[in-house]
């Protein structure tokens, strides 16, 4: 049985695991401080557990994933101090001396859900996470779509709902999807924490309307078999049901014959791997790196 190193590299913490095939046999959490400290501790943890055959990294972005780029696998223009330009893939690969693969966190999570979660057996789906930010991955014909880098599905334009005069929270676009519907935007718009807002219908009706607008766009652009939607905001009780209802209204029956008539319950679903989707995605990336290295 092969052993792999799986690294879920988040903006506040790294989860690092050793797996035997897909079973996690050791894991730890490391604070995200500077690249030297955090990547150093990551590599030390892996090396202290004996040899692995490959490493997989599901990393916060933005990342350079342009095929053939000299900086492939490096973090690009992050506002996070110290990390802009960090060649995460190269550092891990050279320190461990094994094949390694990297994707953005949502791309990794999409791969994890495809291998072992809510997208098993599908050939095209969308994975979306709504938390402190909004990110998404598109899985097409057996792989995560990258294009010239990777999609930024949280930064699409939405149609402002009448009566909502919130300016938006995105430092780049103001009222984009993330700027209108990520956790910080909700708290800023209503002036209260998500917990305090939990019982207020108007808050989650508006949120569901915006999320449904985005899902409508993804549905028409990608024609996915399923949309998997996770993240902290989606843990609010009843929100996914509201999103399904609003999406049904917005699609209005047009060109959605692949969605089961009368119900979006199988079309808009939670991730099955929950908070572990990214880590399992990193395991799946490691397995791919191992396979591709022959």
Q: Which stretch binds Zn ion (CB under 5 A): 1-9, 24-32, 168-176, 202-210?
A: 168-176
Rank residues 65 and 170 by Cβ distance to Zn ion and give the closer one.
170
> Pairing between strand 124-130 and 226-230?
parallel
Q: Does 155 bind Zn ion (CB under 5 A)?
A: yes
Chosen residue from 9, 30, 109, 170 binding Zn ion by CB under 5 A: 170
How big is the site for Zn ion, counted in residues (CB under 5 A)?
A: 5
Q: Please, what is the end-to-end C-alpha distance for the chain in angstroms?
A: 16
Stretch that binds Zn ion, among 13-21, 78-86, 103-111, 147-155 (CB under 5 A): 147-155
Q: Does 236 bind Zn ion (CB under 5 A)?
A: no
Q: Does 239 bind Zn ion (CB under 5 A)?
A: no
Smallest distance from the beta carbon of 158 to Zn ion, in angstroms?
10
Is 22 near Zn ion (CB under 5 A)?
no
**Residue 193, Cβ neighbours under 10 Å: how many?**
11
**C-beta closer to Zn ion: residue 168 or 281:** 168
Q: Which stretch binds Zn ion (CB under 5 A): 128-136, 141-149, 151-159, 189-197?
A: 151-159
Distance from C-alpha of 279 to C-alpha of 100, rounded to nearest angstrom: 15
Q: Which of 258, 264, 192 is nearest to 225 (CA)?
A: 258
| Ramachandran assignment for 222, one of left (phi > 0), alpha (psi -120 to 50 degrees), beta (any other) | alpha
Query: From the list 49, 82, 124, 173, which residue makes contact with Zn ion (rule: CB under 5 A)?
Result: 173
Q: Phi and psi of 178, rounded to 5°?
A: -60, -40
What's the rounded Cα separation, in Å, for the pair 20 and 236? 34
Contact 119, 169 (CB under 8 A): no
User: Which CB atom, from 169 or from 288, has the smaller least distance to Zn ion?
Assistant: 169
State yes or no: residue 166 binds Zn ion (CB under 5 A). Answer: no
Tokens of 250: 């917005």
Residue 211 tokens, joined: 């999320």
By the 8 A CB rule, do 82 and 35 touch?
Answer: yes
Interface positions, 260-289, toward Zn ion (CB under 5 A): none
Is residue 82 within 8 A of residue 123, CB to CB? The reply is no
* Site residues (CB under 5 A) for Zn ion, limited to 174-233: 176
Q: Answer yes or no: are the C-beta atoms of 118 and 228 closer than 8 Å.
A: yes
Name the minimum Å distance from CB 178 to Zn ion: 5
User: 160 or 173: whose CB is closer to Zn ion?
Assistant: 173
Which residues 71-130 are close enough to bind Zn ion by CB under 5 A?
Answer: none
Give the shortest CB-135-to-Zn ion separation in angstroms. Answer: 11
CA–centroid distance for 267 within its chain:
18
Residue closer to Zn ion by CB (options 91, 169) is 169
Closest distance to Zn ion from the beta carbon of 113 (Å): 24
Residues that bind Zn ion (CB under 5 A): 155, 170, 172-173, 176
């Amino acid at each position: 049985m092969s052993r792999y190193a799986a690294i879920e590299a988040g903006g506040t913490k790294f989860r690092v695991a050793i797996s035997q095939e897909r079973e996690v046999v050791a894991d730890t959490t490391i604070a995200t401080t500077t690249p030297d400290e955090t990547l150093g501790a990551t590599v030390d943890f892996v090396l202290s557990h004996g040899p692995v055959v490959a490493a997989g990294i599901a990393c916060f972005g933005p990342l350079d994933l342009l095929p053939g780029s000299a900086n492939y696998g490096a973090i690009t223009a992050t506002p996070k101090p110290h990390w802009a330009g960090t060649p995460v893939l190269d550092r891990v690969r050279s320190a461990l001396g094994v094949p390694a693969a990297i994707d953005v966190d949502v791309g990794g999570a999409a791969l994890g859900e495809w291998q072992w979660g809510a997208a098993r057996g599908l050939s095209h789906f969308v994975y979306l996470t709504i938390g402190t930010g909004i990110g998404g991955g598109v899985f097409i014909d057996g792989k995560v779509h990258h294009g010239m880098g990777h999609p930024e599905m949280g930064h699409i334009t939405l149609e402002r709902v009448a009566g909502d005069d919130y300016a938006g929270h995105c430092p780049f676009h103001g009222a984009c999807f993330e700027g209108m519907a990520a956790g910080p935007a909700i708290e800023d718009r209503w002036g209260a924490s998500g917990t305090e807002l939990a019982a207020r219908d108007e808050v989650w009706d508006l949120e569901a309307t915006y999320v449904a607008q985005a899902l409508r766009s993804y549905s028409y652009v990608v024609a996915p078999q399923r949309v998997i939607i996770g993240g902290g905001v989606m843990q609010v009780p009843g929100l996914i049901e509201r999103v399904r209802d609003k999406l049904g209204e917005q699609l209005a029956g047009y060109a959605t014959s692949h969605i089961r008539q009368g119900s979006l319950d199988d079309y808009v679903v939670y991730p099955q791997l929950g908070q572990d989707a990214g880590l399992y995605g990193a395991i799946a990336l490691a397995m791919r790196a191992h396979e591709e290295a022959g």
